Structure 1
Amino acid sequence: MPILNSYSTDSFTRLEEWYTNVPRATLLNAYLIQPLSSSLSNTSPYIFGAYGTDNRFESSDVLSRWYQIYQRFKAKGIRILGFSTDCDSRDFHSMRTSLGFFANFAYGDHSDLLKIDLPNTWSWFLMQHQQLYICFQDAIHICTKLRNRLLSQSTHLLLGEQLINMKPLLYLINNYSKLDHLLVASDLNPKDRQNFYSAAKISNDNVLILLEQIPNSLGLNIYLQVHN
């Protein structure tokens, strides 16, 4: 676990020594929490912690960190139901392990285990029947990743014989009223890689309906339905 104020000093000499001899963090990990409420219809997530890292850690470190977060929140009367992460392979491995996906993992006789009632016919759904918490990938991150892949100039996507690219969307913007699809040229800007709003716009129902009228857009239409 990160140590609070681990590099706090009033000594310039000490600070200089740290900068000279101690590896510095190159990345920032941020943790957000999404409250669940039966009385409030819309609760926004907010950040509860952030720390610097040199990105040198294993999936076992992720599992330990999640468990510590769970326990510390529990001590304050807050129940953590699950964790959601991006596409980092170590986070993926931690999620698979936590869910028992081709892994034998359990928190023993923990008093807070959730009972997961899976249908008997779901033999394809690999998840343990008792979980301390559930895991799922960040849907917003997936959506922006799919948009970035579509707009990439170095990636070629094929669905059967259909080439999936942004040309039908450009045709849509140039030949149909904005009132019909709500798109603008900046929605197809590949440099803005974290633009979730644009990712949602290019896959809205109106766009999908209009694409049916444009030749050679079937592959793109199917691809965008994954976003929707």
Structure 2
Amino acid sequence: MRSTSHREQQRVVSKVTYDTTSNKFIGFALPLDDNGFPIANSYSTESFSCLEEWYSNVPRAKSLNAYLIQPLSSAANNTSPFLLSAYGTDNKFESSDVISRWHHIHQKFKAKDIRILGFSTDCDSRYLHAMRASLGFFSTFAYVDHPDLLSIDLPRTWSWFFMQHEQLYICFQDPVHICTKLRNRILSETTHLLLGDQLINIEPLIYMISNYSKLDHALVRSDINPKDRQNYSSAAKISSNNVVALLEKIPNSLGINIYLQ
């Protein structure tokens, strides 16, 4: 069976609670072991002074890291991803922790006769560095002479596509995050984008919403609201074929038209 793994991170309200079932305190940032995995049983104690010390010195978890697994076999085309793990973190780690974690996940699944073909995540610089090392992309390849390397048959005409022909797994950025980041960039009030002498901004979209029927473009004002930074449906709408076609009729829209394509 073949699968891919995806990592998602969400901000959470820092709070420590006591779990009566496991006799653990939940909410402290978990330390990582040599494999980059959180040490689950780190905060269980019967000592009030120990708990007091934790409250004084141990950082609270500020984010929730979740790892999802997506089966890729033909028999599981409609299978939804399932949760592999979730844990609180203070977001303090190194790219080496990420590489160790990915390799450990790969090896554990291999023992169950499941091949992890790839990992995806957002644009955190430490994860991008781990991707580069894992792929050998302008970086020292992390898995030289690994026994489980895959052979990738790239077309000979793809001289522009830089990738080693042997990889342990593939890394790629989460396309939803990429799409929303592209949207947020053009909605930013502090960032100015230029394409040649063409300014890339949302004025043509505002003009479109004000002067064309919603039936033609399906946009509403909230689609260009910069406060909702994770609105993927909005990102998909403003880059739709109908919007791109209408932009050709609007003055001074060449820059954003090319950007959205």
TM-score (norm 2): 0.80
Counterpart of 1:173 in structure 2: which amino acid?
Answer: I
**Match of residue 114 from structure 2:** 78
CA separation in 2, counterparts of 1:72 and 1:10?
A: 33
> Do 2:133 and 2:142's aligned partners in 1 also have CA atoms closer than 8 Å?
no
Higher relative contact order (CA 8 A, sep 6+): 2
- Tell me whether 1:166 sits opposite 2:202 in the alignment: yes
Maintained 8 Å contact 1:212/1:218: yes
Stretch moving more, 48-57 or 38-47: 38-47
**Residue 158 of structure 2 corresponds to residue 128 of structure 1:** no
C-alpha deviation, 1:125, in angstroms: 2.5
Distance in structure 2 (CA, Å) of the matches to 1:12 and 1:76: 42
Do residues 175 (structure 1) and 211 (structure 2) align? yes
User: Which residue of the partner structure matches residue 20 of structure 2?
Assistant: none
- Matches of 1:69 and 1:61 in 2, distance apart? 12
Measured after TM superposition, the shift of residue 72 of structure 1 is: 1.6
CA distance in 1, matches of 2:83, 2:241: 32
d(CA) in 1 for partners of 2:260, 2:44: 49
Residues 8-157 of structure 1 mapped to structure 2, 5 A cutoff: 8-9=44-45, 12-157=48-193
2:220 paired with 1:184: yes
What whole-Å deviation, never above 9, does each CA across 1:50-104 have from its counterpart, x for those lacking one?
2222222221111001001111222233211001111111111111111111223
Distance across 1 between alignment mates of 2:186 and 2:79: 31
State the shift of 1:214 in Å.
0.6
2:16 corresponds in structure 1 to none
Higher strand share: 2
The SS at the match of 2:115 is: coil
Q: Which amino acid aligns with 2:158?
A: W
Letter in structure 1 aligned against 2:110:
K
**1-structure distance, mates of 2:45, 2:114:** 33
In 2, distance between residues paired with 1:160 and 1:106? 39
The structure with the greater share of residues assigned to helix is 1
Deviations 1:14-57 (A, max 9, x none): 43331122233322222122221313443333332122222222
Aligned identity (percent) is: 75
Q: Which moved more, 1:76-85 or 1:198-207?
A: 76-85
Contact preservation (8 Å) 2:98, 2:127: yes
Aligned-partner Cα distance in 1 for 2:83–2:208: 38
Counterpart amino acid of 1:85? T
Q: Which runs of 5+ in 1 are unaligned?
A: none
Q: C-alpha distance in 1, partners of 2:129/2:89?
A: 19
- Which aligned runs of 4 or more in structure 1 are off by greater than 6 angstroms? none
Report the Cα offset of residue 127 of structure 1. 1.6
Q: Is 1:197 equivalent to 2:215 in the alignment?
A: no
Contact map agreement 1:96 1:103 (CA 8 A) in 2:
yes
CA RMSD of aligned residues (A): 1.8
Give the count of matched residue pairs.
Answer: 225
Instruction: Give the letter aligned to residue 220 of structure 1.
Output: I
Cα distance in 2 for partners of 1:162, 1:209 equals 18
